[in-house]
Structure 1
């Protein structure tokens, strides 16, 4: 468990990196701290002397360039589960504590993945297209009961996905850093170094892993060739987990049956991408975890952590900066992770 020393002599100075949509409910934070809302252009000027940085604009890449050479705030919190945009060398090697918003997105993403699995099995995209064309074309669809899903990533999001798919009748296994049997959510967990072997029996491969040096580009031509022609790939993790050109090639050649992609290495997805027009691909704009009220929940989580900071209690969701995700000894670590 990690502690950040409360700022002496008054409330802490909290800098909030905002984007196009400001954080709602920020008054809950302003009751606890001196708050400055800044955009990317003002970040470098605001960081020196700040006690805490709240990265509300979690898609921003501005922090590395703005980071003070003398060291930045003692605590950085990001309004997302992924922290790969924060892990530049100066922050990783320094004493700054990093926390994320783990727990906000788990169940919404799990529901979204179940919806995608059903959309594939029941051919819902084709039904919508045919309706738009006023065409009556009867088809048979697939059962999901008994289908096999492989969830790559055994953190809280991966576990929520596994529980939701299991409840719907799918047989679920996982892939994590270390292999084990008898996991309460995932049953058998295959080790990451045997990932290619695990693909062979999967009808659905669901990516929910963090982006690290080990996972970047894990789904390449070799990995796709290990999957069955009937496999559908679902990515709700990070876009860079997949080598996009290799995926397009595999889809065109019929090496896998389809893909549902909520994240991309370049966002927004360029209009020229062939993925937009492929009938066996579902494209969504990085929205799988964004349900009504999600922004307010993100602010509430940060405010709760700020109260912990002020009272000297352990922070929730402390990230192991070397691993790139929350470790098992974090205060919020009620879920085992692979």
Structure 2
């Protein structure tokens, strides 16, 4: 890639890691910056001397392998809420600002979770299977009004889930890093040491936490043993929050009543996985937040942040690289660009 001169006032050079599906409607971003689209094999050659990296292919591990020892981008934006793939040592330890796409997926995921709760309570997945088999089998179903839900993860997605479930009549509490009472969305928020006890009170356990060292495999055999035999587990966070082998064993043994999984340790989920054929499991292909127009919304968020970057204004959704997510109280940082190339 031709680098061009680094002169004051030059538009920033932005590298986009595009993947198989390029980002749509990038014209507004291209008016603000010199934008270059690359694939994984081209990334290492494109990063030195660039000002910003837009990780559109948020599944890619290429940024870690391609990251330069010196002269890396000042700012990296990822087209996802999760940033676990970006938190490699070279990026965490450097001065590069990281922003995510927090806010794009909150309400769609909350709607999806409500749909899954209704599917379990009204046994809709069984109805569809019986219809495929042309079997007429009358059943009784459950109420959701008054059921208890524990939402693990009190960020924007978890809060949106809590509001939807509360509106539908469930009693919702949360689990997060810090204990709180009187929270506007959860009422009660349990700290990590209270999570085992809180699991035993819930009819639905919803995982919406970021993937960090503290949350990896947080739902393991011991946690599943704490849950009610009638409880359902819903994971819309990250696959490695759950020890999948332990979950399969718990489902087979009837230790919990069911699971709805939108994320997995390895994606796509292998055809050989027993989760595909378990009657009390709903499998979806990491799509809970992907509604019509979601790609364009991701580009709009990036373009707004690019405009802020060019003007030297505070960026939205700045990630605390040590914690692994964007906190509301540390969600902005002033960029050093302000029209000046280094």
Q: TM-score, normalised by structure 2?
A: 0.94
Provide, for residues 106-132 of structure 1, a one-character-per-residue CA deviation record: whole Å limited to 9, x for no partner: 000000000000000000011001111
Q: CA deviation at 1:96?
A: 0.3
> 1:7·1:51 contact (CA, 8 Å) conserved in 2?
no
Alignment match, 2:139: 139
> 1:58·1:80 contact (CA, 8 Å) conserved in 2?
yes
> 2:82·2:325 contact (CA, 8 Å) conserved in 1?
yes
Look up the SS of the partner of 2:119 in the other structure. helix
Q: CA deviation at 1:10?
A: 1.0
Look up the SS of the partner of 1:329 in the other structure. helix
Alignment match, 1:188: 188
Q: CA deviation at 1:70?
A: 1.2
Alignment match, 1:8: 8
Q: Which aligned runs of 4 or more in structure 1 are off by greater than 6 angstroms?
A: none
Q: CA deviation at 1:314?
A: 0.3
Give the paired residue count. 328
Alignment match, 1:221: 221
Q: CA deviation at 1:28?
A: 1.4
Alignment match, 1:200: 200
Q: CA deviation at 1:208?
A: 0.2
Is it true that 1:302 corresponds to 2:323 in the alignment? no
In 1, Cα distance between the equivalents of 2:330 and 2:311? 17
Write out aligned runs for 1:252-271 (5 A).
252-271=252-271
Alignment match, 1:86: 86
> Alignment RMSD, CA only?
1.3
Alignment match, 2:174: 174
Provide, for residues 10-59 of structure 1, a one-character-per-residue CA deviation record: whole Å limited to 9, x for no partner: 10000000111100011111010000000001000100011000000001
In 2, Cα distance between the equivalents of 1:267 and 1:248? 17
Provide, for residues 234-272 of structure 1, a one-character-per-residue CA deviation record: whole Å limited to 9, x for no partner: 000000000000000000000000000000010000000
Alignment match, 1:58: 58
Alignment match, 2:46: 46
Q: For structure 1, which runs of at least 5 residues remain unmatched after alignment? A: 1-5, 334-338
Alignment match, 2:249: 249
Look up the SS of the partner of 1:68 in the other structure. coil
Write out aligned runs for 1:250-329 (5 A).
250-329=250-329
Q: TM-score, normalised by structure 1?
A: 0.95
Look up the SS of the partner of 1:320 in the other structure. coil
In 1, Cα distance between the equivalents of 2:277 and 2:19? 30
In 2, Cα distance between the equivalents of 1:42 and 1:332? 30
Residues 184 and 41 (structure 1 numbering): CA distance in 2 closer, same or farther, change over 3 Å? same
In 2, Cα distance between the equivalents of 1:27 and 1:181? 46
Q: CA deviation at 1:87?
A: 0.2
Residues 79 and 7 (structure 1 numbering): CA distance in 2 closer, same or farther, change over 3 Å? farther
Q: For structure 2, which runs of at least 5 residues remain unmatched after alignment? A: 1-5, 334-342
